[in-house]
Structure 1
Amino acid sequence: MRYWHPFTEEAIQQIKKDNVTKLVILPLYPQFSISTSGSSIRVLQRIFREDTYFEGLPVSIIESWYQREGYVKSMADLIEKELSSFLKPDEVMIFFSAHGVPVSYVEDSGDPYRDQMEDCISLIMDELKSRGINNPHTLAYQSRVGPVQWLKPYTDEVLVDLGQKGVKSLLAVPVSFVSEHIETLEEIDMEYKHLALESGIENWGRVPALGCTSSFISDLADAVLEALPSASAVSGKTQRNTSEDDLDPLQSVIKFFSGQS
């Protein structure tokens, strides 16, 4: 992990200790962003450039996997289950809350995150509709920090607006998180729940993170197996190209792991 044990560097040492001969990189972010998957992969990119163990090692990277059937159905399963806990399930607003990123990432750096997130929501809602679930839904972005503009609409502002418009029942879905942590347990469960109830929403529910849901884990395992045949040798040490790495980090990562850099 980037910010807790086992850290990326610890995992690298374990890979070498285990004499791994083929590697699949699976970021635990369903949608790709240069600030999440991209950032993590760039750490590996740096390590691989500096450590001769990885020179020539076949590597495959799964850039995103939000579109996989197993993920979509697992999310729909959790939503369907939580909807059933409401007195009037058909009247519940499904509220997808995703981690935000600065607008500049999308508009200036070509980050596909927003497009992938919107596509992800569409796939989940299509799956729900195939089950006869036709609830209204909306998407908003949380966790913004600093003075720059982040992707809109913002979760806190949308919650207030929904309450003012008369929405009484709401089911929050943390769509970009696969595990429970401060942004679900504190930001959503405490801050946003309080704001929602204060704004007029009377019935609040929250879909849990996927965690170790068996259908989800099985699908991730399938994704890894499917990625193995496409593993290709990592290129050796190369001089860093600032314009390529900084201005188009997604393409830089793809080129590096496909041996083109």
Structure 2
Amino acid sequence: MKCNEENDDDDDVMLEVVAQPPYRPTELFFQIKRDGITKLVVLPLYPQFSISTSGSSLRLLESIFREDEYLVNMQHTVIPSWYQREGYIKAMADLMEKELKSFERPKEVMLFFSAHGVPLAYVEEAGDPYKAEMEECVDLIMEELEKRRVHNAYTLAYQSRVGPVEWLKPYTDETIIELGMKGVKSILAVPISFVSEHIETLEEIDVEYKELALESGIQNWARVPALGVEPTFISDLADAVIESLPYVGAMAVSNLEARQSLVPLGSVEELLAAYDSQRRELPPPVTVWEWGWTKSAETWNGRAAMLAVLVLLVLEVTTGEGFLHQWGILPLSR
């Protein structure tokens, strides 16, 4: 997606929307060079900044810049997060308010904000601002709802964890079970870190978490749709890009307080240096082999145990001299 604008120097400016890796936008950069674009505004489609989401996309962008003679000196700026923008907050509140009306008793519904999780070490050791931004985002949405006289109870949890490392807590699945045990009967799930529909909303929330909720005694389950191209949201993103144009090619240090953002406007290199200096990679979804009391280990140890049982049964049947025969559980072969 691109949006050409004329600035004071009559230079072409392109808006680049950065999605999740591992997509390599070679066609987009070919178009940038073909059109003679000299300045970029990079807009990650993640409301809150994290090393594992926006940072991962920026790492890919950084590598592409360094490999291309035309792009390496490209003047640009990054809008690292925009969760606090009025248009985004109001759009989320609009969708939530609309979905609440579908419940028979809207005031009794628990608002369940479910965000994509990140490894805990990113926050505690690497200074990732994701948790702080997420909590502030939820507070801002609830403040907007309270202005509309919506005073429902709410909670925040984190989903989609993978691998054996510890992720941000509380976990969505565990929180759903706890709410069921406490007698909560109605939940409105709010996918707070997702702006489009995909497997984590359509499958994880709509299917897996809904089934878990019903099994846990929760009787009513609904979900707020992803923002998509909701007009208030899209219009505000466009405003964010226009507001960032004066900072293309320059760090907006003097304007940090005015922006009231935990992550400053800056270049790809500056943001990675501040928040992703170690260029950490996400843990793999399944560790190949690991013993111990971990989710991955349970899977592989269980498979090994099943294989061992299968081998023993084959020996029993083919030789008649295995443990079951010796212990008298099966008759000895003659």
TM over 0.5: yes
Match of 1:163 in 2: 180
2:227 and 2:182 map into 1 onto residues whose CA distance is 31
1:9 and 1:34 map into 2 onto residues whose CA distance is 23
8 Å Cα contact 2:58-2:272 kept in structure 1: no
DSSP-derived class of the 1:87 partner: coil
The two structures, once aligned, show a CA RMSD in angstroms of 2.0
Match of 2:274 in 1: 251
Offset of residue 253 of structure 1: 7.1
- Dislocated runs of 4+, deviation >6 Å: none
User: Which residue, 123, 130, 141 being the options, matches 2:147?
Assistant: 130
- Whether 1:105 aligns to 2:122 is yes
1:178 and 1:205 map into 2 onto residues whose CA distance is 17
Match of 1:197 in 2: 214
Closer, same or farther: CA 46–199 of 1 in aligned 2, 3 Å: same
The 5 A counterparts of 1:1-261 are 1-3=19-21, 7-232=24-249, 249-251=272-274
- What is the one-letter code of the residue matched to 1:179? S
1:146 and 1:190 map into 2 onto residues whose CA distance is 22
Q: Which runs of 5+ in 1 are unaligned?
A: 235-244, 255-261
DSSP-derived class of the 2:274 partner: helix
Match of 1:237 in 2: none
- What is the one-letter code of the residue matched to 1:135? N
Identical columns (%): 65
Write the deviation string for residues 156-198 of structure 1: whole angstroms up to 9, x where unpaired.
0000000110000100000000000000000000000000011
Offset of residue 233 of structure 1: 6.7
Closer, same or farther: CA 65–205 of 1 in aligned 2, 3 Å: same
8 Å Cα contact 1:56-1:233 kept in structure 2: no
| Count of equivalent residues | 241
Answer 1 or 2: higher relative contact order, Cα 8 Å, separation at least 6.
1
DSSP-derived class of the 2:166 partner: coil
Q: Which runs of 5+ in 2 are unaligned?
A: 1-18, 252-267, 278-334
Closer, same or farther: CA 249–58 of 1 in aligned 2, 3 Å: closer
- What is the one-letter code of the residue matched to 2:77? S
Offset of residue 57 of structure 1: 2.4
Closer, same or farther: CA 231–162 of 1 in aligned 2, 3 Å: same
1:131 and 1:233 map into 2 onto residues whose CA distance is 40
8 Å Cα contact 2:51-2:276 kept in structure 1: no
- What is the one-letter code of the residue matched to 2:248? A
Match of 2:329 in 1: none
1:163 and 1:252 map into 2 onto residues whose CA distance is 38
1:78 and 1:176 map into 2 onto residues whose CA distance is 14
Offset of residue 3 of structure 1: 4.6
2:274 and 2:68 map into 1 onto residues whose CA distance is 22
Closer, same or farther: CA 49–31 of 1 in aligned 2, 3 Å: same
- Whichever of the two has the greater Rg, that structure is 2
Match of 1:257 in 2: none
Write the deviation string for residues 12-45 of structure 1: whole angstroms up to 9, x where unpaired.
2222222222210000000000111011111111
Offset of residue 251 of structure 1: 1.3
TM-score by length of 2: 0.69
1:77 and 1:11 map into 2 onto residues whose CA distance is 34
DSSP-derived class of the 1:26 partner: strand
DSSP-derived class of the 1:140 partner: strand
2:20 and 2:136 map into 1 onto residues whose CA distance is 27
